[in-house]
Amino acid sequence: MEKKLAVYLCSGCGIGEAIRVDSLAKLASGELKAPICRTSGQLCGPEGAAQLQRDIAEEGVNCLVLAACSPRVSWPAFSFDPRRIVSERVNLREQVAWSHEPRPREGEQLDEDIQALAEDQLRMGIARARLMETAEPSVEGRDKRVLVLGGGVTGLSAALNVAAAGYEAVLVEREEQLGGFARRLHLGYPRSAPYTELAPSPIAALVEETESCPRIEIHRSATIQSISGAPGMFKARILRQGKTVEEGAGAIILAAGFEPYDPRGLEELGYGRLSAVVTSVAFEELAARGELARPSDGGPLGSVAFIQCAGSRDERHLAYCSSICCMNSLKQALYVRERYPDAKIYIIYKDMRTPGQYEHFYQRAQEDEGIFFAQGEVRAVGQCEDGRALVELDSVLHRERIGLAADLVVLATGMVPRTALGEGPGADGSEGPSKGEPAPATANLPSDIVRSGTLNLDYRQGPELPSLKYGFPDSHFICFPYESRRTGIFAAGSVRQPMDMAACMRDARGAALKAIQCVEMVSEGKALHPRSGDLASPKLFMQRCTQCKRCTEECPFGMYDDDGRGNPVPNPTRCRRCGICMGSCPERIISFEDFSVAMVGAMIKAIEVPEEETLRILVFACENDAYPALDMVGLRRGRYNPFVRIVPLRCIGSLNLVWIADALSKGIDGILLLGCKHGEDYQCHFIQGSALANERLGKIKETLDRLMLEPERVRIEQVEIDDCDRIPAILDGFLETIEAIGPNPYKGV
C-alpha cells in the first residue's frame, strides 16, 4: 500500500498547557518527515473532524497519526474504515498532559522531561503507523449451518432456536431416540409461575417439534468420529449405524449433557449395601413406571428419606453443588405424597437450595404436613430390626444425633458433565479410561483436556474443549459465559455448569444466538469476541519457520494445526487476533496488518535514549485493563514519573522477547509489563495470555545474563482495570529499583 502520512496534533484539554505542541509539530514535519502535519485546538471538534475527512478526500491521506486523547475516547471523530485507512492514536492527554505536573507558573520553563515523553510517544506512534497496513479480511468460511451435538433438552432447544431464527441445524444424538436424560423423568418441577405445581417434562413436546422442523436434520444413533475445519467451515464425520456421513457446519453447539454421579462410591450412605437405598435417578425411573413401593415386599411406602448432597459438596466426591437436587427431591417427595397420602417424607439437607422463585415450591412442600425437613449431617445409614433403613444424623434442630427409620432412602446424587468422563478407547485407538469413569488427562494431551469422545476434534491441541475445573469447559463464566477456547464451539446446558431443565432451555437459547452470530461474522471475515469485528488476520512468513511449534502449542484457541512436519497450518477463522502466537514466535514470522513484531520493534527503536543519566522505562500495557487504568490515573490527575514510555499491547501474551532484547541493547534502563491476573481466577480475556507472558519472562534471564544485566531490570506486575490507585506506585517503585541499580550500561553504545 502506497501510504500518505499525516500527523494531527491536538492542543486542547490541557495538552497545550503541559507541552509545546508547536515544537512537536516541528519534530513531526522536520525530523520525522511527515508530509502533512496539522495542529488543532480541538481535533475531535467539528472543524478538526472535517479537516481529517478533507485531507483523506483531497490530499489522499490514508495513514493518520492522531496525537490527542486516549484511543478509548472520541472514537466517533477518529474512526476510519480499516480496509482503506490506517490510523494510530497517540495518547498525549490522559497519559502525558493529565498524568504529569500541570502547567508551570508564568516565566517558568515547561518540564523538558514531559516534553521528551510527548516527543517519544509521537515518534513511537509515527513509527508504528508507517508499518501498518490496511486490513485484508480473510473470508473463508461461509457455511451458516449449526451443528448441535446432543439431543437432550439443551440440544433440542438449541436446534429449535437456531431454526426459529431462520438458520439450519444438524442435530447428532448418540441414542436411537431423542430426548436424552429427560426421557427418564416422570414429571418435571415447576418452570413458571406460580412455581408450586409439578409440570410435565417438556421433552415430549421438544422432540415432536424437532422431528417436524424442516430446518433441522437429525442423525440418531450417531456419534462424532471427528470434526475438522474451523468456524464457517467445520466438517464433521458422523458415524451412524456403521456408516460415516459427512456434514458441514459454520458453528457448533456442544450440548453433551451430564451423567449422574456414579453412586458406587457412596457405600457409606448404604448404596449397594442396603436394598432400601436407591439413587434419585433410580427413584425417578420407578416413579415413571408407576412402581413406587417398599423394596422389601412391594407394599405401600410408609416413609421415605431423601439424603441431599449425596456425593455433592463433598471434597471426596464432587466438590461443587449440583444445583438441581434440592428441587428434584422436593418433586420426588410429592410423587410419594400423591401416591401414598399417609407416607412420611424426611428431607435431610445441609442447606435447602431453592433459589429464586423456586422458593414457592419449597414453601409448598413446607406446608405439606407429611414432609419433614431435617438439617444436619448424615453420619451413618444402617438397618432397623424391622428391616427398614435407619438414617443417623447430627440434627441441627435437635442438637444431637437422631435416627430416622424409612422404607426407602433416596440418595440425591449429583451431576457430572459428560466432558469430564472417559469414553473408552479414543478415536486414534489409544486406550482411554472405561466409559463413565472420570477420565484423567492422558500424557499426550494438555492437562486441561479430557478425552471424553464428545467432539473428537482434529485439532493440534487435542480433541475436546479445554476445561477449567471439574471437567466443565473453560470460559469467562461471569461476563462472557459462552466464551470457549475453541472458536465457534459453544458449550450449553449441563455440560457447562450444573443446571436444571429450565436453565438448560434458556442456556440453549443463548448458545444458539452465539452460533448464529459466529457464522454471520465469520462470513464477513470478522473476528469474534473479544475483538469483535476486527478485520485484520494473521499472516505467516513460512520460509523462515523453524518448526519450533511454539505457536501451535501456545495459541489459547487452538488456531493452528500441524502439517505433520512441525509446520503451523493456520485456520484464520479460529483466530481471535490476540497476537499470542506472535509473541511466541522466535523467528518473528507472524504478523497482522495492524500489529506485528516489527511495528512494536520500530516503536522501541523510535524512543530517544539520552546518553546522560536520565532513565528510560519501557512499559508494555494490556490494552483492555492496564491501559484504561493508566488513563484513569490521568483522569484523576494522578502523578507518575515522566520517564516511562507506554506501548499498549492487545494482550500482554503478545509480548515477543525480542522487544525486551531490543530495548535493553539500545539502552532502555528497565522494562515493566502490566498484565492481567493469571492462575485459577484469571482475568485475561485471552485466557492464557498473561500466564504465558509470565512464563516467557522466566526465560528472559538468559538474555539478561548474555547482556550482563541485572534481572531486576525486567518486571511483570498483575494489575486490574480498577487499579488506578496502585499504578503510580508501581511505576515509581519500579523507577526507584532501576535508579538503585543504575543506568543501563549499553546507553550510547
Contacts with another protein in 124-183 (CB under 8 A)?
142-145, 161, 164-168
73 contributes a contact to another protein by CB under 8 A: yes
CA dihedral 499, 184, 203, 290 (to 10 degrees): -120
Least Å from the CB of residue 358 to another protein: 7
193 contributes a contact to another protein by CB under 8 A: yes
Q: Which of 280, 354, 690, 718 binds another protein (CB under 8 A)?
A: 354
40 contributes a contact to another protein by CB under 8 A: no
Interface map 367-406 toward another protein (x if CB under 8 A): --------x--------------------xx-x-------
Residues numbered 684-703 forming contacts with another protein, rule: CB under 8 A: 685
**635 touches 587 (CB < 8 A):** no
Stretch touching another protein by CB under 8 A, among 205-213, 423-431, 607-615, 629-637: 629-637
Least Å from the CB of residue 156 to another protein: 15
Instruction: Report the residue number, 339 or 677, with the smaller CB distance to another protein.
Output: 677
CA-CA distance, 638 to 625, in Å (whole number)? Answer: 17
CA-CA distance, 251 to 478, in Å (whole number)? Answer: 22
**Of 42, 58, 40, 47, nearest in space to 4 by CA:** 58
DSSP string, 268-327: GGTTTT-TTEEEHHHHHHHHHTT----TTTS----EEEEEEEESSS-TTS-SS--SSHHH
CA-CA distance, 269 to 283, in Å (whole number)? Answer: 16
CA-CA distance, 409 to 304, in Å (whole number)? Answer: 6
- Residue 407 dihedral angles phi and psi, to the nearest 5°: -65, -30
CA-CA distance, 194 to 437, in Å (whole number)? Answer: 40
Count of residues engaged in binding another protein, rule: CB under 8 A: 94
User: What cell was used for 142?
Assistant: 461461509
Q: Which of 20, 339, 509, 549 binds another protein (CB under 8 A)?
A: 509
635 contributes a contact to another protein by CB under 8 A: yes
Q: Taking CA 392 as the corner, what is the angle to CA 388 and CA 394, rounded to the nearest 5 degrees?
A: 160
Q: Which of 4, 529, 588, 605 binds another protein (CB under 8 A)?
A: 529
Amino acid at 468: L
Instruction: Report the residue number, 598 or 721, with the smaller CB distance to another protein.
Output: 721
353 contributes a contact to another protein by CB under 8 A: yes
Stretch touching another protein by CB under 8 A, among 108-116, 349-357, 607-615, 732-740: 349-357
- Which single residue is written with the C-alpha cell 474451523? 230
464 contributes a contact to another protein by CB under 8 A: no
Q: Which of 38, 123, 313, 486 binds another protein (CB under 8 A)?
A: 313
SS (H, E, C) 425-446: CCCCCCCCCCCCCECCCCCCCC
Q: Which of 460, 514, 576, 713 binds another protein (CB under 8 A)?
A: 514
Least Å from the CB of residue 157 to another protein: 10
Stretch touching another protein by CB under 8 A, among 7-15, 109-117, 401-409, 439-447: 7-15
91 contributes a contact to another protein by CB under 8 A: no
Q: Which helix (H) or strand (E) holds 705?
A: helix 700-706
**Of 294, 303, 295, nearest in space to 406 by CA:** 303
Q: Which helix (H) or strand (E) holds 510?
A: helix 501-523
Stretch touching another protein by CB under 8 A, among 83-91, 109-117, 257-265, 623-631: 623-631
Stretch touching another protein by CB under 8 A, among 129-137, 219-227, 355-363, 662-670: 355-363
Amino acid at 209: E
- DSSP label at residue 140: -
Q: Which of 429, 612, 681, 740 binds another protein (CB under 8 A)?
A: 681
103 contributes a contact to another protein by CB under 8 A: no
220 contributes a contact to another protein by CB under 8 A: no
8 contributes a contact to another protein by CB under 8 A: no
Q: Which of 106, 298, 369, 479 binds another protein (CB under 8 A)?
A: 479
User: What cell was used for 519?
Assistant: 457464522
